[in-house]
A and B are shown apart, each in its own frame.
Chain A
Amino acid sequence: MLTLLFDGIAYGMVLFILSAGLSVTLGLMNFINLAHGAFAMAGGYVTVVAMNRYGVPFLAALPLAFLITAAVGLLLERTLYVRFYGRSHLDQVLFSIGLVFMAIAAVDYAMGSSQQLITLPAWLQGRVDVFGVAVGLYRSFIIAVCGVVVVVLQLILTRTRFGSRLRAAVDDQRVARGLGINVNLIFAATFAAGSGLAGLGGALGTEILGLDPTFPLKFMIYFLIVVTVGGTATITGPFLAALLLGIADVAGKYYVPEFGAFVIYTLMIVVLVLRPHGLFARAR
């Protein structure tokens, strides 16, 4: 029971890292980016290639996944995404679906369609008993890493000048621009960081989510659930939503496997219909 909870929390943490960037894209630029999962997949494949082909150790592969994905994100933001900020949602959806299709086919072409595996270092394998609860070492590692990331994100957002500018831009873009805040620059930086985080999440999640070319489509709905249910105003909203989703998914698959993902989809629809701005959104 507690093991289940623990696994759910680890799963939810990874989901949060994966979706954090999306919540900014959606909240700041009102951009529906269905291709967010493609960045996560990129991070996963960077890890796989680095570890299996070049023998990079796991701990070094993680920052690599973050950096490379962030660079790709920055490049795409400056060249393509920036043209779509003012466009209709339909255009954004079509554009990002196109990107997803391209990413899936390209990865399929380059890496094959099979599941990719990585070998974790020995000190991350296995389980230990903590007060009678079997705790997976790798999952504790994930929770630790993600916990640090969450705290750092929260500190950046609330304690730094960049964070206050970002929050100002999310709250009211026009006024922020009027005050001389360079919203475009902030957005480019945030987009890159968000893509990098997605890449990091993809790298961490390779072991527990699985990694194959259909990753962006398979998990697209999960990212969107985290963001829409959590709301885009804060970090804590998506964080709680991701934890809930992770725990609910793991518990649902364990206790009522015959329903599968049914529970989550239904819950999402109910939440969206009752609270279109998310479960934790402030009243506007």
Chain B
Amino acid sequence: MTIPHPPATRVTAALARRGRWRLPEVAFWALALAALFLLPGRYLILNEIAILALFALSLDLLLGYSGIVSLGHAAFFGLGAYTAGLLARHGVAEPVVGLFAAAGAAALVGFATSFLVLRGSDLTRIMVTIGVALVLGEIANRMAWLTGGADGLQGIVMGPVLGTFEFDLWGQTAYGYSLAVLFVLFLLARRIVHSPFGLSLCAIRDNPLRAAAVGIPVGGRLVAVYTLAAAYAGVAGALLAQTTQFVSLDVLEFHRSADVLLVLIIGGTGYLYGGIIGAVLFRLVQDELANLTPQYWYFWVGLILVVLVLVGRERVVATLAAPFAGLLRRFGRPVREA
């Protein structure tokens, strides 16, 4: 018989408290589900938001929970997109199989490249992650016989999801499908970050040396979370490929990695909802700006970025979110002193 260790029980209790579901969270997901029925005609953008949210969520696991700055996260997004697209093109019409394959492929490459980001400073990590994305982009470009090169991967035909839900013209199934995947993966991520494993990641983020000193296997944990984040990004890419039935080299490009970083920064890092809220805001703002100045909306994106960091991103987000501060805290957003 073992007597529970007092600190251990305290930690377990604290983790359980942080991991408890709160009412606004339930309301949030109910709202997302309601959009499936209440917003006809907006399914395309809703679908894009769900995919972008999943992509940002995967980056949050890296940046928000483990402190790894990556500027090449599109590598795994694109890999997942091409994997799912190629599978569908060569006869595997079931989307869910494509998702698993994409997650597997991205996780494999993520695992292999994770050892490269373990070493070195922020700059080295940034360079290596950009480099990995560039190498993959170059491979996709050169292997035109397989990927279609600059013309993109065409002729993707998707079967119904799980054999029952046929993709329709308006994208209702697409949004429902993406939302369901996002929700399931969100649940998984939520479980992971509220586990002792997640707690150890935060410790590494805050102080790698001290984390190593208290016995956390820093290298192993980072490899694990990098692989996990890669798999998540791969699934996001697969969703894009399956719901738009098209993959182009664009999925691997630098601006996609930069965009997802911006999305996460807008929403705030380290509480999982940041990526989702950021995705909603980013897409809505992007839509408005693209209507205003179709060709040059990147200027405004750049301006938002500069202003955001100039004023201090924590402060801007905190000020804008002040009316919702109580609400956001209930989403589990970490409270920081401004």
Residues on A close to B: CB < 8 A?
26, 32, 80, 83-84, 87, 89-91, 93-95, 97-106, 108-109, 217, 221, 224-225, 228, 258-262, 265-266, 268-269, 272-273, 276
Contacts and interface: CB of A to CB of B under 8 A. Distances in A.
Interface stretch (B206-214, B295-303, B326-334): B295-303
Given A94-B262, A262-B138, A272-B120, A105 B131 contact: no
B244 interface: no
A26 B138 CA distance: 27
B138 A228 contact: no
B35 interface: no
B93 interface: no
Given A269-B128, A273-B119, A91 B313 contact: yes
A102 B138 CA distance: 26
B135 A98 contact: no
Nearest to A100: B302
Given A94-B265, A228-B124, A276-B121, 6 more contacts: A80-B310, A94-B308, A265-B134, A266-B131, A268-B127, A272-B116
Interface residues of B, number: 43
B92 to A, nearest CB: 29
The B interface is mostly helix, strand or loop, or mixed, namely helix
Nearest to B312: A91
Contacts of B262: 94
Given A265-B135, A269-B132, A97 B127 contact: no
Max chain B C-beta neighbours (<10 A), residue from A87, A97, A102: A97
A258 B142 CA distance: 7
A108 B296 contact: yes
B122 interface: yes
A28 to B, nearest CB: 14
9 contacts: A80-B306, A89-B122, A90-B69, A93-B126, A94-B305, A98-B303, A101-B301, A106-B296, A108-B296
Contact of B116 (A225, A258, A269): A269
Contact of A105 (B71, B120, B298, B306): B298
Interface string B204-236: 000000000000000000000000000000000
A93 B298 contact: no
A233 to B, nearest CB: 15
Given A91-B313, A260-B138, A262-B135, A272 B302 contact: no
Contact of B123 (A32, A97, A98): A32
Interface of B: 63, 69, 71, 116, 119-124, 126-128, 130-132, 134-135, 138-139, 141-142, 254-255, 258, 261-262, 265, 295-299, 301-306, 308-310, 313
Contacts of B258: 97, 101
A30 to B, nearest CB: 9
A269 B133 CA distance: 11
Given A83-B310, A228-B124, A260-B142, A98 B305 contact: yes
Contact of A262 (B122, B142, B301, B303): B142
Given A95-B305, A269-B131, A269-B135, A32 B299 contact: no
Contacts of A105: 296-299, 302
Nearest to A97: B258
Contacts of B139: 262
Contact of A104 (B116, B298, B305): B298
A89 B126 CA distance: 10
Contacts of B132: 269
A269 B302 CA distance: 28
A98 B302 CA distance: 4
A269 B124 CA distance: 9
A268 B128 CA distance: 8
B124 to A, nearest CB: 5
Closest 7 CB pairs of A and B: A98-B305, A101-B302, A105-B299, A102-B302, A98-B306, A89-B122, A276-B120
Nearest to A30: B123
Given A105-B298, A269-B128, A97 B305 contact: yes
A105 B297 CA distance: 8
A93 B69 contact: yes
Given A98-B305, A217-B254, A261 B138 contact: yes
B267 to A, nearest CB: 14
B123 A102 contact: no
Nearest to B304: A98
Contacts of A269: 116, 128, 131-132, 135
Contacts of B126: 32, 89, 93
Contacts of A228: 123-124, 127
Contact of A95 (B128, B130, B310): B310
